[in-house]
Structure 1
Amino acid sequence: MKLSLCNEVLRPLPLAAQCEAAARMGYAALEIAPFTLADDPATLSVADARQWRHTAHDHGLAISSLHWLLVRPEGLSLVSDDAALRQRTLALLRHLIALAAACGARVLVHGSPHQRSPRPGQRLADALARFEDAMAELAPHAEAAGVVYCVEPLGRIETPVINTVAEAAALVDRIGSPALRTMLDVSAASQNETEPVHEVLRRFLVSGHIAHVQLNDRNRRGPGQGDTDQRPVLQVLKDTGYTGWVAVEPFDYVPDGPGCAEASARHVHELWNTLT
């Protein structure tokens, strides 16, 4: 198992200190949220991204992935009827694809609920169509860069646009690019899916749709900090020979960011070592 930590958990530590802490806790990589490194990620350069890679490698880590792609700057949208705003949002995502390739990340995780949700007065069908058009436009850029762009199913309380792995997989199939996949977040799947999470994971891993996994509890804390059993999910990963990254992504840090990250890594490693 290749375990990564979403780096916003260790804010406001600088990247080198994040790497030192993550390595000490037993992680093999960081999943980078670009807004943690610049208020406007458009100002980050390919040279910056190469330096992230060097910094991580200096601490025995990799950069596994990028996520929280559109947190900053505020006001972005892929579904607005403002064509200039949509193009500005797409331009940032194309830039982040280039940064992912430069820092060695193999995956980008597209969550960003607000920036894909219908605008006031907009029909859901229109937002869905524009979001799909955006993914179709980004897919060839990801393919050319040698990275995988993952559409993340999110909770219905966050957005009505793509809530289940099946919905994301259907979008991926319609676009038909090898660089466009989906992923599974345990917390979101625990809230959205009608089947047990591990069964959803198994089906869409076997079908080839899932390229990334994030671990957390239904209560949005770290794995092991609630009543969501992570063991069946980890067993599926082991049974299917999954070789991608598994990222720890809590949203509610208990007792704090570093404490949550350390407890999560310990819990996941302990579970993994008990699997047959």
Structure 2
Amino acid sequence: MKPALCDLALPTVDSHALLPGIRALGFQGIEVAPHRIDPDGGAGDSPSAAAVEAHRRTIGAAGLAVTGLHALLAGRPELGLFGDAETVRRTRDHLVRLSAVCRDLGGRTMILGAGGRRRGALSLKAAWLAGRAFLEDLLPRIERHGTVLCIAPLGRSGGDFVLSAADARILVDALDHPSLGLQMNSAALVDSGETGHAPFNAGRGRLEQFGVCDPGRTVPDPAGPGRHADFRRHLATIGYGGWLTLKQRPTAAPFDGVRRGWAVMRDVYLRQDGHAFVPPHRPQSFAQRTLPPAPAG
């Protein structure tokens, strides 16, 4: 697995100065929030090409890769998957522009927080139909960029649409599009009660990113509620080798917080002991079964 850091763990001012130290710790990638690319650029729909190129060069000079984008709708409360036709169109166009930004930064994944909340009296069935229609319109428009939109479950306390990894998998399977992938994160899995092996096995081959985080985006605690040791074994069992992204809020001393988060990544998720988790009551494979002796004669 390849360790990355979500840039919201860094301060908004002078965060670039911390990048060489982040690489020295062992991180290989940075996940970028679009509004962090050009914080002085005003409230435009997307950062300028010049700002994107400068951001890419700065991150690359520190020896880090851009993994992709997150917080795609941050600061844009007027946008969303659910609403009138104009709101939906503007949201689609915004995500298409950000897909091009992701490509130009050298990234691949765009993490969308499951569309947020349904608006008004929209029923759950209507929300699923609207969400599917939105994605069917969006995905062909970003496919040419080589990016992958990842639906990130929010957990039971985070919204009211696509709350669980199972919900996200149903949506991904229903559309079966190369530009739509899965993201899972430890906090949402705990919140939705999906701490067993089933969601990992179901996401085998489709999981694009795994987020390491605790509730409230505090610095992960290996002995806390995040079930990090269990999740590491689940990931090892399915042979996951993609980005493992630390997601936490900045602490009073930001680099100290990142260092503590890195210790969890290193000691829990990136340990090389070769032990894989075997789910309880897992059916034996054909090769493992003891076959009865062949009949005489």
Match of 1:60 among 56, 59, 63: 63
Which residue of structure 1 aligns with residue 238 of structure 2?
240
Structure 1 residue 89 corresponds to structure 2 residue 81: no
SS of the residue 2:217 aligns to = coil
Question: What is the alpha-carbon distance in structure 2 between the residues aligned to residue 132 and residue 44 of structure 1?
Answer: 28
**Range that drifts further, 254-263 or 145-154:** 254-263
Which has more helix, going by share of residues?
1
Shift of the alpha carbon at 1:21? 3.9
Which residue of structure 2 aligns with residue 169 of structure 1?
169
SS of the residue 2:125 aligns to = helix
Relative to structure 1, the CA distance from residue 201 to residue 248 in structure 2 (aligned partners, 3 Å threshold; closer, same or farther) is farther
Deviations 1:47-69 (A, max 9, x none): 43233222111000000121110
Aligned residues: 269
Is the Cα contact below 8 Å between 2:25 and 2:262 reproduced in 1? yes
Question: What is the alpha-carbon distance in structure 2 between the residues aligned to residue 222 and residue 204 of structure 1?
Answer: 28
Is the Cα contact below 8 Å between 2:35 and 2:47 reproduced in 1? no
Shift of the alpha carbon at 1:219? 5.4
SS of the residue 1:161 aligns to = coil
Identity of aligned residues (%): 24
Relative to structure 1, the CA distance from residue 275 to residue 202 in structure 2 (aligned partners, 3 Å threshold; closer, same or farther) is farther
Shift of the alpha carbon at 1:159? 1.0
Relative to structure 1, the CA distance from residue 170 to residue 223 in structure 2 (aligned partners, 3 Å threshold; closer, same or farther) is same
Question: What is the alpha-carbon distance in structure 1 between the residues aligned to residue 184 and residue 192 of structure 2?
Answer: 11
Aligned CA-pair RMSD: 2.2
Q: Which amino acid aligns with 1:275?
A: D
Question: What is the alpha-carbon distance in structure 2 between the residues aligned to residue 148 and residue 33 of structure 1?
Answer: 16
Trace 1:116-265 onto structure 2 (pairs within 5 A).
116-193=116-193, 195-197=194-196, 199-206=197-204, 208-218=205-215, 220-224=217-221, 226-251=224-249, 253-254=250-251, 256-265=253-262
Q: Which amino acid aligns with 2:80?
A: S
Which residue of structure 1 aligns with residue 281 of structure 2?
none
Provide structure 2 residue ranges, at least 5 long, that are not aligned to the other structure: 275-297
Shift of the alpha carbon at 1:99? 0.6
Which residue of structure 2 aligns with residue 45 of structure 1?
48
Is the Cα contact below 8 Å between 1:165 and 1:184 reproduced in 2? yes
Q: Which amino acid aligns with 2:267?
A: E
Deviations 1:172-219 (A, max 9, x none): 1111201111111100111103x425x14531342x232110001245
Question: What is the alpha-carbon distance in structure 2 between the residues aligned to residue 15 and residue 92 of structure 1?
Answer: 26
Is the Cα contact below 8 Å between 2:68 and 2:107 reproduced in 1? yes
> Runs (4+) of structure 1 moved beyond 6 Å?
none
Which has more radius of gyration? 2
Question: What is the alpha-carbon distance in structure 1 between the residues aligned to residue 87 and residue 56 of structure 2?
Answer: 31
TM-score, structure 2 normalization: 0.82
**Range that drifts further, 158-167 or 46-55:** 46-55
Relative to structure 1, the CA distance from residue 163 to residue 143 in structure 2 (aligned partners, 3 Å threshold; closer, same or farther) is same
Deviations 1:102-130 (A, max 9, x none): 1011111111x6x5311133333323322
Shift of the alpha carbon at 1:11? 2.1
**Range that drifts further, 218-227 or 93-102:** 218-227
Is the Cα contact below 8 Å between 2:4 and 2:29 reproduced in 1? yes
Deviations 1:7-63 (A, max 9, x none): 011021345224234223321111011122345362413443233222111000000
SS of the residue 2:120 aligns to = coil
Shift of the alpha carbon at 1:254? 4.8
SS of the residue 1:121 aligns to = coil
Is the Cα contact below 8 Å between 2:153 and 2:162 reproduced in 1? yes
Is the Cα contact below 8 Å between 2:81 and 2:88 reproduced in 1? yes
Relative to structure 1, the CA distance from residue 128 to residue 18 in structure 2 (aligned partners, 3 Å threshold; closer, same or farther) is farther
Question: What is the alpha-carbon distance in structure 2 between the residues aligned to residue 242 and residue 141 of structure 1?
Answer: 28
